[in-house]
Amino acid sequence: MPYAEMKEDVGANAYAKEVKVGNRRTLYQRLQPYFMPCMCFCGSMALLIVFLWYSGFISFDPPSCAGPVQSDLKFGCDEELPLASKICCHNTRFAEPAGFQSQPGIDLFSRLNRSAETVFYDSICGIPLFVAPRGRSFAAWEAESKAHGWPSFRQEEVIAENIDMKFGGEVRSTCGVHLGHRFSDGSGNRYCIDLVCIAGHQTVHNTSAEILGISL
pLDDT per 10-residue tile (average), the chain, 216 residues: 49 52 60 68 57 47 80 96 92 90 96 97 96 97 97 97 92 94 93 98 65 50
Q: What per-residue confidence (pLDDT) applies to 114? A: 97
SS (H, E, C) the chain: CCHHHHHHHHHHHHHHHHHHHHHHHHHHHHHHHHHHHHHHHHHHHHHHHHHHHHHCCCCCCCCCCCCCCCCCCCCCHHHCHHHHHHHHHCCCCCCCCCCHHHCCCCCHHHHCCCCCCEEEECCCCCCEEEEECCCCCHHHHHHHHHHHCCCEEEHHHECHHHEEECHHHEEEECCCCEEEEEEEECCEEEEEECHHHCEECCCCCCHHHHHCCCCC
Which pTM does this prediction carry?
A: 0.71
